[in-house]
Amino acid sequence: IADQDRATIAKSSTLPRDSAPRVTSPAAEEGNSDTPKKKKLQEQIDAQMARELEEQQEREDLRMNEQIARDAEVARIHAEEEIQGMIDSLDKSNETVSLEKKKELISDLVKYQDHYKKVYKFQSQQRKP
């Protein structure tokens, strides 16, 4: 009796999906002929996706290269401006040095003229009896 009860419980405890009859389509019975078609279709889809991803990567690479070129051009312009500023600063320094040199030469000339005047005055006094 216990074995019968277990069998009854086992039959009554099955889930509806386990006991529901399955409907099969003719295509399911012809699975062998569909599988190569599906496989080929999947391969075509995969190949198309690979091409699209490759094209997308190429576009992204091109965009990146263009951005790098623009950034390099901006950096070049900034470097040129900075170098030109340094050159201008050096030119001003050279002008300042030249101005200082001119002042020094003028000062030397004034000293020379003062010295010449003293020598001339001394010589003039020596000639007077």
Q: Is residue 120 part of a domain?
A: no
Q: What's the one-letter identity of residue 32?
A: N
- 27: Cβ–Cβ under 8 A, 6 or more apart, which residues? 34
pLDDT of residue 107: 92
Give the number of other CB atoms < 10 A from CB of residue 70: 10
Q: Digits of tens for pLDDT over the chain (129 positions)?
A: 666 666 666 555 555 555 555 555 555 555 556 788 999 999 999 999 999 999 999 999 999 999 999 999 999 999 999 999 888 888 887 777 778 888 888 999 999 999 989 998 888 888 776
**Does residue 53 sit within a domain?**
yes
Domain-embedded: residue 86: yes
Number of structural domains (the chain) is 1
Task: Yes or no: say if 59 and 52 are a contact pair by the CB < 8 Å rule.
Answer: no
pTM of the model: 0.42
**Which domain, by its residues, includes 96?**
34-115
Domain assignment present for 128: no
**Which residue is associated with the tokens 């992204």?**
60
